[in-house]
């Protein structure tokens, strides 16, 4: 049986990974269990596993702008520590990265080999992590870039929108950022497909397919909740200035999956409908304690 260690198991994606990967003997370590910036601790913790899945990251995009050293410590140096541990134990590594490694100025889906050009500290730190992994353990590392994640656990766009929808008559939602709303449970299944495949290296764009704006995403959520979607109005990014710039285009290409005879990701709307039936709908309940 394949022995899998999920690093960062306390996060939204990490929790789904441990659940979905349980048939292949998955164990999870959260941030309290393992600090990936501690090289010796990472080396010791990763022994005895066939596959390491690293979801641990500094993901506070805006805070990273004023905490650059911390972001790079976790996202670059920490990622390198995990790669070195994977190499030492001859385990495959699957490392989660992000669409923020791109500048967001494209108009067609980004292929995996598109030039990177991050515009934020967060994006730069995640790109540095990709580069550190590739330099340390190129023969055994897979980079899985994802974006616009949501799930049952932790904070996410659906949680924010649905909770706002319970208390506000009107919402303004950005329409000039395009991406791929992605269910963490689908990402977990995609990671599972990589684990059971013979693939040992490369980059895979690990998102649901299709494309949508945040406005489209919010509208779909309101319709699933049975609410009047005319309560949502489109607005622009400029109306909501943030410390870190957001990519205007975060649509990623999935051709790598087909090239390796792996299932192509399904459309974001289909995934969201399943997520809704699987428990996301509870976020729209007025008595929700989630």
Q: Which residues are marked as active site?
A: 122
Q: At residue 96, what are phi and psi to the nearest 5 degrees?
A: -85, 125
Using CA atoms, how far apart are residues 87 and 36, in angstroms rounded to an integer?
A: 15
**Cβ neighbours of 248 (radius 10 Å):** 17
Residue with tokens 């410590």: 73
DSSP state letters, 6-42:
EETTTSHHHHHHHHHTGGG-EEEE-TTT--TT-HHHH
Lookup result for tokens 């349980």: 22
Contact (Cβ atoms closer than 8 angstroms) between residue 221 and residue 181: no
Give me the numbers of helices (H) and strands (E) for the chain, helices first please.
10, 12
Count other C-beta atoms under 10 Å from residue 183's C-beta: 30
- 3-class secondary-structure state, position 54: strand
φ, ψ at 75 (rounded to 5°):
-80, -25
The answer to whether the CB of 74 falls within 8 A of the CB of 55 is no
What one-character DSSP code corresponds to residue 154? S
Rg (CA), the chain: 19
β-pairing, 141-146 with 171-174? unpaired
């Amino acid at each position: 049986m394949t022995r899998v260690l999920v690093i960062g198991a306390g996060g939204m994606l990490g929790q789904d990974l441990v659940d979905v990967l349980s048939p292949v003997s998955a164990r999870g370590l959260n941030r309290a269990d393992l600090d990936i910036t501690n090289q010796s601790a990472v080396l010791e913790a990763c022994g005895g596993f066939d596959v390491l899945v690293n979801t641990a990251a500094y993901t506070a995009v805006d805070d990273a702008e004023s905490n650059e050293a911390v972001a790079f410590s976790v996202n670059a140096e920490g990622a390198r520590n995990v790669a070195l541990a994977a190499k030492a134990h001859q385990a495959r590594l699957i490392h989660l990265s992000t669409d923020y490694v791109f500048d967001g100025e494209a108009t067609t889906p980004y292929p995996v080999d598109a030039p990177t050009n991050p515009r934020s500290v967060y994006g730069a730190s995640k790109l540095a992590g990709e580069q550190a992994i590739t330099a340390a353990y190129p023969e055994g590392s897979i980079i899985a870039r994802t974006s616009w994640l949501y799930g049952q656990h932790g904070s996410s766009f659906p949680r924010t929108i649905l909770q706002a929808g319970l208390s506000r008559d009107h919402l303004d939602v950005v329409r000039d950022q395009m991406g791929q709303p992605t269910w963490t449970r689908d990402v977990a299944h995609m990671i599972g497909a990589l684990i059971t495949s013979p693939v040992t290296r490369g980059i895979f764009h690990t998102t649901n397919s299709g494309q949508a704006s945040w406005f489209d995403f919010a509208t779909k959520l309101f319709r699933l909740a049975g609410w009047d979607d005319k309560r949502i109005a489109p607005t622009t990014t400029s109306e909501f200035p943030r410390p870190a710039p957001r990519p205007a285009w975060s649509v990623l290409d999935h051709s790598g999956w087909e090239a390796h005879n792996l299932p192509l990701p399904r459309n974001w709307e289909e995934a969201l409908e399943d997520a809704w039936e699987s428990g996301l709908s509870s976020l729209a309940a007025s008595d929700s304690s989630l």
